[in-house]
Amino acid sequence: MATTVTPEVLWAQRSSNADPEKNFIYLTINVPDVPASNIKLDLKPTGLTFTGHSDTLKKTYHVELEFYAEIDPAESKINHTARDVEMKLRKKELTEEYWPRLLKEAKKVHFLKTDFDKWVDEDEQNEAEEEDFSQFGGGMGGMPGMGGAGGDFGGIDFSKLGAGAGMPEGDEDEESDDDMPPLEGEEEEPAKKDAPKADDGKEAA
């Protein structure tokens, strides 16, 4: 029988009173071996509810968060990997000041930690390097399966998002790198060559 546990949640933030693109929360939910088809994420302006199941680890992950202030779900972005679900949550209010905390309540929770890999001090964020969000999907409100754009768009069905939503590792985690297609117009070559030629390709790599 699957065990229900609270996943580790990491967070960091940036702020701006003029540029919405620089006014956001980084949020990472660590849920290894949870395929996209086993994830349900309900993201609202005031918080989120996440549930995910790992068949290999026989664990169900569940967490509910109520944010310190509102976010804009339609302008937020998401990326699913074999290890976690990463989010870039757009803060609704433009302000220079950091949120004093992620959650509405001031109490400390054991599963929530600062993401020191992404955190920079408020007075140093202008000098910080720009993060690469190319692997993230676009605005959530425009994704298929969202139930429409806007604030409260209900649960996200990850199984309908596909690779176009920035989730290349969803249900294909079991596939190895050896199954990757050949490069530079060689798609038809492996079918015409004998099996031992595969070793030559590995040596060239």
Angle at 63 between CA 47 and CA 7, to 5 degrees: 130
Instruction: Report d(CA 171, CA 159) in Å as an integer.
Output: 8
Does residue 121 lie in a domain region?
A: yes
Tokens for 158, please give them.
Answer: 């990850």
CATH of the domain at 120: 2.60.40.790
CB 4 within 8 Å of CB 60: yes
Does residue 167 lie in a domain region?
A: yes
Give the confidence band of 124 by pLDDT, cuts at 50, 70, 90: confident
CB 65 within 8 Å of CB 48: yes
Does residue 24 lie in a domain region?
A: yes
Does residue 78 lie in a domain region?
A: yes
Q: Is 190 a residue whose pLDDT tops 50?
A: no
Mean pLDDT of 132-151: 41
- Mean pLDDT, the chain, rounded, equals 76
Does residue 195 lie in a domain region?
A: no
Instruction: Give me the domain span that covers residue 70.
Output: 3-175
Mean pLDDT of 130-143: 48
Nearest to 160 by CA among 80, 98, 89: 80
Does residue 186 lie in a domain region?
A: no
Tens digit of each residue's pLDDT (9 = 90 or more) over 39-57: 999 999 999 999 999 999 9
Does residue 23 lie in a domain region?
A: yes
Weakest mean pLDDT among 3-7, 24-28, 142-146? 142-146
Q: Is 196 a residue whose pLDDT tops 80?
A: no
Tens digit of each residue's pLDDT (9 = 90 or more) over 12-40: 999 999 999 999 999 999 999 999 999 99
Q: What is the pTM of this model?
A: 0.67
- How many domains is the chain built from? 1
Residue 27: φ, ψ to 5°:
-135, 125
Angle at 170 between CA 46 and CA 129, to 5 degrees: 60
Spatial strand order in the sheet of 155-157: 3-5, 59-66, 47-54, 39-44, 155-157
Share of the chain above pLDDT 70, in %: 60
